Amino acid sequence: FAEGVSEPAKIAKDVAAGAVLVASINALAVGYLVFYDNLVSWPYQVFNRLRLSHVDLIVAALVLVGLIVIGVKAATRQRSYLRGGWPSGHAAVAFAAWVAITALAVRTAYAAPLSAVALIMAVLTAQSRVQAGIHSFLEVLAGAILGSVVMMIVLAVFRPF
């Protein structure tokens, strides 16, 4: 918080955030009860769709990378889930995208140049986070490793190329 923000204001913000969390959980529970019949077969449909669609699989994997980054930041009690801290979410998503592009391009005539351009973009993304002072080199390295490994696992499980 900025200088001069009172302690009661901080407490009110925390209470409001807690109320939003409780309301969200309740909404999920009610939605589950209302749509239970339609949700029973849902995991199988999602699994099959991910196995058949490259785009859906990669988008889901990138979202998973982002959620894992936020989860790690929450578990390690970072100062902010969305700015700075360990690991770098930008680096994680950039390197996950590099792995995905490389996997998709592996059987094309342009595999090496596509992978190289994607890697350069991922490295530039990571470097910009360090240069801006938002992350340290180790935070960016952790994000790069996390994103790459998660994408490799998702691709190996759902769609071996």
pLDDT in tens, 8-22: 887 887 788 778 878
pTM exceeds 0.75 for this model = no
Report the pLDDT value the prediction gives residue 69, as an integer from 0 to 100.
85
Tokens 């889930």 identify what position? 81
With beta carbons less than 8 A apart as the criterion, state whether 160 and 154 touch. no
**Residue 10 C-alpha from the chain's centroid:** 28
Contacts of 109 (CB under 8 A, 6+ apart): none
pLDDT in tens, 96-115: 999 998 988 888 888 888 89
Domain boundaries, the chain: 1-40, 43-158
Q: At 73, which amino acid appears?
A: K
pLDDT band at 141 (very low <50, low <70, confident <90, very high): very high
Alpha-carbon dihedral of residues 144, 60, 48, 110, nearest 10 degrees? -60
Report the pLDDT value the prediction gives residue 78, as an integer from 0 to 100.
62
